[in-house]
Amino acid sequence: MRKEIRIGIAGVGNCCSALVQGLIYYRKTGEGERSEGLTLTNVGGYLPRDIKLTAAFDVDRRKIGQDLGKAIFAEPNSCMKVCEIGVLGVEVLKGPALDGVGRDMREYILVDESSPVNVAEALRGSKTEILLNLLPVGASIASKFYANEALKANCAYVNCSPAKIVTDKAIATRFKRARLPLIGDDLMSQIGGTIFHKNLLEFLNSRGVKVQNSYQLDVGGGTESLATIEESRKMLKRNIKTDSIKSALPYKFNVVSGTTDYVEFLGNQRVSYYWLSGKYFLGAPVLMDIYLRTLDGPNSGAILFDIIRACKLALERKIGGPLVSVSAYGFKNPPERMPVNLAKQRFIEFVEGRRRN
């Protein structure tokens, strides 16, 4: 019998839909196989099929009370459907709305009026080990609420939202004292705007190019993009993305990064526009203008598979508090930022047991 990784999910949106479908899509992936779309097939002896869904929370009445296998395809979700899921045996429970539904999202999210469940009790009753926060941009109060419920239920917590959880010293200290892993903040996509931009800048720097100006601007459909266009939420996300990209180079340069608009007919698509200027040998100018088209939901899956399995290893090793190397590998605003290759190296070292944190 293989050991399970029992996970709960707060926020049954497009990222959740892709993750659940991924568990079906990759369930036959075996030891030592190289599977299309995965960054790592085997993480510390754990395969994707070892991840088991045990709890789910949302606020939309079209999802509450539904089996998770059905709820992931309910509106307003728009992630592509590639798998028939069937009944998973996990009912979507009502969580508190708090600040999770922004002003611009109220006509899209139909908030259920029933009372929320006791989240900590539900986590304990389902024997959940790891709680994933997949709430939208701006849900800072809700993200802290779920962090506290995870603590009460003796669960590790993975904060995929931009809310400052892992970088909050008070919260980090509580998880460390409880010997529970804490990972985040703000999940980085497999091939999204930020990770692509950082790799591009690091490559140019390695070839002696002096970057002077750069921007990365996103346009997208789906609730993820919609949640970002409200001004206060937009600035939170923009600041995190910009700071993350700044860390790619060892010198100062002009950079702007963020979501500029919501285009409903794009659905779950996102278009990222990149522009940069700089100089190379003899001060010769270089100008780059490119774009990248991706789907938001699936872009989170592969990295989440890695993070979940690394989190399980931390639970087994009784490592509490922020996981520095794991967070740097998969998140835009980790406790300690690192170059992309160094973060990947330290993640592997952690998985192999050669690095404690």
pLDDT at 32 over 70: no
Looking at the chain, the whole-number percentage of residues with pLDDT higher than 70 is 97
pLDDT at 79 over 90: yes
DSSP 214-265: EEEEEEE-HHHHHHH-SHHHHHHHHHHHHHHHHTTSSS--EEEEEEEEE-GG
Q: Buried b / exposed e across 124-153, counting CB within 10 Å, b at 16+? A: bebebbbbbbbbbbbbbebbbbbbebbbeb
Token pair belonging to 236: 């939170």
Q: In angstroms, what CA-CA distances link 128 with 124, 155, 268, 281, 318?
A: 6, 7, 29, 56, 16
- pLDDT value for 309: 98
| Count: domains in the chain | 2
pLDDT (mean) for 142-156:
98
Q: How many CB atoms lie within 10 A of CB 288?
A: 14
In this predicted model, what pLDDT tens digit does every residue of 217-248 receive, in sequence order? 999 887 777 777 666 667 777 888 899 999 99
* pLDDT level of residue 311 (50, 70, 90 thresholds): very high
- What does residue 251 show for φ and ψ, rounded to 5 degrees? -140, 165
Q: Domain range spanning residue 200?
A: 193-295
**CATH number, domain at 222?**
3.30.360.10
Residue 113 is assigned to a structural domain of this protein: yes
In this predicted model, what pLDDT tens digit does every residue of 80-124 receive, in sequence order? 999 999 999 999 999 999 987 877 777 789 999 999 999 999 999
162: nearest Cα among 352, 331, 349, 351? 331
Report the chain's terminal Cα–Cα distance, integer Å. Answer: 29
Token pair belonging to 4: 């399970």
Higher-pLDDT residue of 233 and 272 is: 272
197: nearest Cα among 145, 258, 239? 258
Residue 157 is assigned to a structural domain of this protein: yes
Looking at the chain, the whole-number percentage of residues with pLDDT higher than 90 is 80
Question: Does residue 140 sit in the same domain as residue 280?
Answer: no
Question: Does residue 180 sit in the same domain as residue 227?
Answer: no
Distance, in Å, from the CA atom of 139 to the CA atom of 296, rounded to the nearest integer, reads 18
- pLDDT value for 231: 64
- pLDDT value for 119: 98
- pLDDT value for 226: 73
- pLDDT value for 351: 98
- pLDDT value for 206: 96
Last residue of a domain, one of 274, 295, 316: 295
pLDDT at 1 over 80: no
Q: Helix or strand or coil: residue 246?
A: helix
Distance, in Å, from the CA atom of 299 to the CA atom of 297, rounded to the nearest integer, reads 5
Residue 356 is assigned to a structural domain of this protein: no
pLDDT at 260 over 80: no
Question: Does residue 173 sit in the same domain as residue 228?
Answer: no
> What pTM value is reported for the model?
0.93
342 contact partners, CB below 8 Å, separation of at least 6? 328
Last residue of a domain, one of 251, 278, 295: 295
Question: Does residue 69 sit in the same domain as residue 109?
Answer: yes
Question: Does residue 221 sit in the same domain as residue 93?
Answer: no
Distance, in Å, from the CA atom of 141 to the CA atom of 113, rounded to the nearest integer, reads 19
